[in-house]
Amino acid sequence: MTDAFLQIQNLEISFDGDRIIAGLNFAIHKNTLTTFLGPSGSGKTTVLRAIAGLNQKLNGRILLDGKEIQKLPVNKRKIGMIFQSYALFPNLTVFENVAYGLKARKKSNSEIHDSVEKMISLVGLDDKINAYPNNLSGGQKQRVAIARAMVLKPKLLLLDEPLSALDAKTRVELRNQIRHYQQQLGITMLFVTHDQTEAMAISDNVIVMDHGILQQQGSPAAIYAHPANNFMANFIGSHNVLDGKDLLRLGFNTIKNQNINPKALYVIRPELFSFDQKIENALEISGKIKSISVLGDRISCEFQTEKGLLLRFERLNKNSSFSIGKLAKLYLRDSDIVKVGS
């Protein structure tokens, strides 16, 4: 991995006297895709706009490729931005939309033609090259916006919830394509979303924000397996979040040879339980199934334990004979329990 490419240092942003971002620090590496994840109102767009230069009132430093950029005007930052709303020019064709920035930079006609046609082809819109935005689907419009941003070879591409207006299937297709372009063209991307699955699926690195404060930064796997704090434990995945007292009630005495702290929080990923099938060194938990949700390839069940605790477990959706009220047993190894913040 190369050195930090984008660095945010002690960033502070206030609106009307309210501090929205308070002392934010993070760094991202070149040619990686980082997602900025957090609930609505957590400050994701505010930070993105500050990096792009759309929000000039700030304290702190923003460094791109080693140079301070926080005082540069938008057009001098070499940063591209893609919005949820596409922001295409309705009176220009697909070709003209994608060519717009290169024309403004006074590139030669032959260079414009070559670059634009190549980019339109990459995003799979050859047959729409002369179409107007009104005659395109939402997914096609967003491809034009992506091509228009990428053709300018930005040092950094910022994407603000680019897929939010699309249907579920198009979202998944386009997120995978964005990841593919990012890797194929070697672009550094910062992608805002409030959709965890989206963030987990495409990122090298995830930064989670809440109330303008960075909660955790790491790979999708690390964030899922080791939530850093209570917010992360509750926000990511459908973990079972239990306190130490609950674990003692279930019959666990130690976790990975450490005493359980009754006041600490612990998480159990729902896919780690074994259902009605004994496993070695595992604690048996008796109870009954309280609810069943079919998630497509998986089944997610609520399990009411005899001790009165509610757990969630998941199984692959194959040959399962589940029914609500069925008495059953779950098995869990203490090594599969993770202490929050460890």
Ligand X SMILES: Nc1ncnc2c1ncn2[C@@H]1O[C@H](COP(=O)(O)OP(=O)(O)OP(=O)(O)O)[C@@H](O)[C@H]1O
Contact positions vs ligand X (CB under 6 A): 15-16, 20, 38, 40-46, 194
Strands 327-333 and 282-294: antiparallel
Measured from the CB atom, the residue of 194 and 298 that comes closer to ligand X is 194
Using the minimum distance from each CB to ligand X, give the nearer residue, 20 or 165: 20
Closest approach of ligand X to the CB of residue 196, in Å: 13
Least separation in angstroms between residue 211's CB and ligand X is 9
Question: Which tokens in the block code for residue 120?
Answer: 């339109």
CB of 212 closer than 8 Å to CB of 22? yes
The residue among 20 and 283 lying less far from ligand X, judged by its C-beta, is 20
Least distance (Å) between residue 73 CB and ligand X: 19
Q: For ligand X, give the closer residue by CB, 160 or 314.
A: 160
The CB-of-60 to ligand X minimum distance in angstroms stands at 16
CB nearer to ligand X: pick between 100 and 235: 235
Q: Is 141 exposed, middle or buried (0-12, 13-18, 19+ CB in 10 A)?
A: buried
250 contacts 283 by C-beta, under 8 angstroms = yes
**Encoding tokens for residue 70?**
């926080």
Separation of CA 8 from chain center: 19
Residue 15 or 89: the one with the smaller Cβ distance to ligand X is 15
Kindly state the smallest distance separating residue 209's Cβ from ligand X, in Å: 7
* β-bridge pairing 79-83 and 282-294: unpaired
Closest distance of CB 55 from ligand X, Å: 8
- C-alpha angle 223/201/181, rounded to 5°? 125
Smallest distance, ligand X to C-beta of residue 148, A: 22
Nearer to ligand X by Cβ, of 44 and 312: the residue is: 44
Minimum Å distance from CB 13 to ligand X? 8
User: What angle in degrees, to the nearest 10, is found between the helix axes of 94-104 and 138-150?
Assistant: 20
- Mode of pairing for the β-strands spanning 258-259 and 254-255: antiparallel
Nearer to ligand X, 97 or 142 (CB): 142
